[in-house]
Structure 1
Amino acid sequence: MSGTVLVLNSGSSSLKYQLVDPEDGSRLAVGLVDRIGEASSTIEHDADGTTTERHATVRSHQEALRTVIGLFDEVGPRLADAHVLAVGHRVVMGGQEFAGPALIDDDVLATIERLAPLAPLHNPANLAGIEVARELLPDVPHVAVFDTAFFHDLPAAAATYALDREVAQQHGIRRYGFHGTSHQYVSRTAAAFLGRDLADLRQIVLHLGNGASASAIAGGRPVDTSMGLTPLEGLVMGTRTGDIDPAVVLHLARSAGMGIDELDALLNRRSGMRGLTGHNDMREVHRLAAEGDEAARLGLDVYVHRLKKYVGAYTAVLGGLDVLAFTAGVGENDAEVRARVAAGLDVLGIRVDPERNVERGDDVRRISPEGAAVDVLVVPTDEEITIAHEAISLL
């Protein structure tokens, strides 16, 4: 092992981390500090086949990272012995300013902060994690890897909204796209799994987690993606609306007297599957639907309907399809959603083998039948190894 990268993903109330060997992709440690700022926080640290779990009050991201560094020293592997080459930070919004990873300095920090209004749920938390990590780990370079970078060079026709041109330019309004590290990793991994040249493939990647996004990728380059100016647009998500008539916002402001903050909370935190069914855990939604709950059944119908629309639209944008890949929590584990998305899409060459579809595993697997025109795959995403590779490539 020539060196490692400490990958940090700082959320509003959590800190996820991995110590990664970028050469072989192995994890020396994986961990999570959850419910930061609450009365009881959960700390998990997995290293060398051993899980250390604790409960304590962790008041801030600074305290969380101090706890993590302490665990590395206490139960290993010691960071001082791991030859940490860089700390790689996931940052959601990079705007038009960042087309790739960036070595973090004060100017980069200021730009991330300036872009926070475009990702208000994410960038402030990412920024907090960076500031704490730079303070506690000052002797290694820190690299920001942006969710938006993979989509930086979307074709103008896909990136441009039909909005007054001067207003759009003045306020930086365009489609930025998100989950870029996942879409990049999955599309490249799919090509390697199939033994085909990435440049020859037309792919649709469905990243289905609590946040969800779709991308159309031609020859390894994205040509469209469902998330837009912010991570709110596109697919139905755990708590976010996805696509919605913008006049709904105007109507609620006028008729219900809702202010900006209330509307923001409604669209981002009280909608999606939670708004439709009362739950943003798809396992619970499936359970309720199986018991005859009409709201849960409708919620699943809306969720799948939106997915089918994007698969059909992106197949048209690509001029055909070679690979459909499912990834992230729902995409990797929810066989019913995968089957329902594929149902009726034979006309596009998309078919799912029922037996293959219900098989579970941690590796890439094909769930389409032999001889199908489109390879339908389940590809476990790995954003952390992508961040590690991006950090090392920059250095």
Structure 2
Amino acid sequence: MTRVLIINSGSSSLKLQILDTAVEEELAWALVERIGEPSGILTVRRTDLTGMPAEERTEKPTIEDHTAALARVLELADELEVHPTDLGVEAIGHRVVHGGPDFHEPVLVTPEVEADIEELELLAPLHNPANLRGIRVARDLLPGLPHVAVFDTGFFHTLPAAAHTYAIDRETAKRWDLRRYGFHGTSHEFVSHRTAAVLGRPHGELNQIVLHLGNGASASAIEAGRAVDTSMGLTPLEGLVMGTRPGDLDPGLIIHLIRDRGMSPEDVSTLLNRQSGLEGLSGARDFRELLTRVDEDDDAGLAYDVVIHRLRRYIGGYWAVLGTVDAITFTAGVGENVARLRADALSTLGSWGVEIDADANENGSGERVISTPGSKVAVLVVPTDEELAIGRACDDVLGLGG
């Protein structure tokens, strides 16, 4: 059997999964949420596929950073006898958010690749540092195993020039590789293929809008299986409203804050990466907390309305880019679990032939169609599985599948 440890470090979360990629089965799983907040949530689970009874441990410690998160996960995994060395893990796959202009495909991690990932931290300050820490801590704690980096930007590398080009001085853009890169590409690619499978249609024949909605959020337009537009840009700041990031804003606002209001570039970076989005509008960066206040608190209500308004703008804009849309798919934590958001985001599209089945939207789990049989556009919920996609990439890079 081929066994791979997948490490997926998000801006405020850490997911780990040990997969038998030959049969695409999970052997062990861990999730750390709310890293850097006063009360985190840490869960480690052993599945019965290990030959032992399934067991789960949950703690609510304060997790200072991703290094502490990974170290504690490995301690609990050892107690549950699912430490990667116990299960015969052969490789470690890592999600890396920004691949810059050079990394389009998964690669074996070497010292040179590490150095390149570190250089790209300027473009993804919430993510690439966490990704790189995951690589280094895992290498130290699990020596001797090969590591594979899978880049979020890879799926969007072939965006047409009109979609990835910023309308700035072309020589400046060329000198600094300034372009739209896009992110969450591993998720968008995986979900678009699963959408086609659920609908029983070839991936290369579908026009899709995929909405990856979590603490980080992004949208993509996929024409005949190929990404033609996406909401995030040079960095993960652009696009939809997120947990702590604003998404689209007038760049003149940044100039104004620095030139006229005395804020330093570092102050503005902190504002836009850590103090904006849901956190800045309502004080609740977690969408679950926002929902508990949305109908009673004006700030939370406004934050929710801004999220919905931005979603509608992107859905409508991508519809115009594609010309025709076969499917709209919601994925990631918020997209998969918040029926109200799905209904509100699409509520103005009835005249375009989009009809939501209220019961299907409110109930059910897993991959499913939530539009009515008469809807001209299929609307789906498809759980993303970036870990499986990364595991498959490890097999491809290292030839583990034989």
What TM-score do the two structures reach when normalised by structure 2?
0.91
Write the deviation string for residues 192-224 of structure 1: whole angstroms up to 9, x where unpaired. Answer: 011100011000000111111000011221110
Give the letter for the 1:215 counterpart.
Answer: S
Structure 1 residue identity aligned to 2:389 = T
Q: Secondary structure at the match of 1:115?
A: helix
Task: State how far apart, in whole Å, the 1-side matches of 2:32 and 2:225 are.
Answer: 35
Match of 2:151 in 1: 146
C-alpha contact 2:355 2:374 (8 A) present in aligned 1: no
Residue 17 of structure 1 is matched in structure 2 by 16
The more displaced of 197-206 and 22-31 is 22-31
Per-residue CA shift, 1:86-109, capped at 9, x if unaligned? 100111111111111010001111
Higher mean displacement: 78-87 or 304-313: 78-87
Partner of 1:334: 338
Identity %: 54
Equivalent residue of 1:237, what SS? coil
Instruction: Please tell me the residue identity of whatever aligns with 1:372.
Output: S
* 1:46 maps to amino acid: R
What amino acid maps onto 2:29 in structure 1? V
Q: Which residue of 2 aligns with 1:368?
A: 371
Task: Tell me, in whole angstroms, the C-alpha distance in 2 between the residues paired with 1:336 and 1:4.
Answer: 38
Runs (5+) with no aligned partner, structure 1: none
Counterpart amino acid of residue 248 in structure 1: L
Q: What corresponds to 2:50 in structure 1? A: none
- Match in the other structure for 1:105: 110
Cα offset, 1:41, TM superposition: 7.0
Work out whether 1:125 is the aligned partner of 2:125: no
Q: Higher mean Cα deviation, 44-53 or 143-152?
A: 44-53
Residues 29-44 of structure 1 mapped to structure 2, 5 A cutoff: 29-33=28-32, 43-44=42-43
2:280 aligned with 1:281, yes or no? no
Q: Give, in whole Å, the separation in 1 of the partners of 2:45 and 2:39.
A: 20
CA–CA distance in 2 between the matches of 1:184 and 1:18? 20
Distance in 1, Cα, partners of 2:84 & 2:111: 25
Structure 1 residue 42: deviation in Å? 5.7
**Relative to 1, partners in 2 of residues 1:355 and 1:69: Cα closer, same or farther, differing over 3 Å?**
closer
Instruction: Give the aligned residue type for 2:223.
Output: A
SS in 2 for 1:19: strand
**Structure 2 residue aligned with 1:253:** 258
Which range moved further: 294-303 or 136-145? 294-303
Q: Distance in 2 between matches of 1:102 and 1:326?
A: 29
Alpha-carbon contact 1:87-1:143 (below 8 Å) kept: yes
Q: Counterpart of 1:227 in 2: which secondary structure?
A: coil
Which residue of the partner structure matches residue 77 of structure 1? 82
Q: CA deviation at 1:294?
A: 2.7
Query: Any gaps of 5 or more consecutive residues in structure 2?
Result: 48-53
Secondary structure of 1:80's match? Answer: coil
- Give CA-to-partner distance per residue, 1:247-300, whole Å, 9 cap, x none: 011111233211111111111221112222222233333333322x33322222
C-alpha RMSD of matched pairs (Å): 2.2
Q: Residues 237 and 40 (structure 1 numbering): CA distance in 2 closer, same or farther, change over 3 Å?
A: closer
Per the alignment, residue 52 of structure 1 pairs with 57
Specify the alignment match of 1:164 in structure 2: 169
For the 8 Å contact 2:29–2:46, the answer to whether it is kept is: yes
Q: State whether residues 210 and 220 of structure 2, in contact with CA within 8 Å, keep that contact through their aligned partners in structure 1.
A: yes
Distance in 2 of aligned mates of 1:206 and 1:33: 23
For 1:193, give the aligned amino acid: V
- Distance apart, 1:133 and its partner CA: 1.5
Alignment pair present for 1:377 and 2:376: no
Spell out, residue by residue over 1:120-177, the C-alpha distance to the aligned partner (whole angstroms, 9 max, x if none): 1111111111112222323221100111111111111111100111111111110010
- The 3 A distance-change label for structure 1 pair 78 and 267 is closer
Matched, 1:176 2:175: no
User: How far apart are the structure 2 equivalents of 1:251 and 1:125?
Assistant: 30
Residue of structure 2 equivalent to 1:344: 348
Give the match's secondary structure for 1:244: coil
Q: Secondary structure at the match of 1:356?
A: helix
Distance 1:318 1:137 in 2: 46
1:388 matches 2:400 = no
Residue 147 of structure 2 aligns with an amino acid whose one-letter code is H
Please name the residue that 2:302 is paired with: 298
Which stretch of the first structure deviates more once superposed, 68-77 or 322-331? 68-77
Match of 1:231 in 2: 236
Q: Given residue 337 of structure 1, which amino acid in structure 2 is its aligned partner? A: L
Residues 298-318 of structure 1, C-alpha deviations (whole Å, 9 max, x = no match) = 222211111111111111111
Q: Residues of 2 paired with 1:43 and 1:129: CA distance?
A: 16
Q: Displacement of 1:35 after TM fit?
A: 6.9
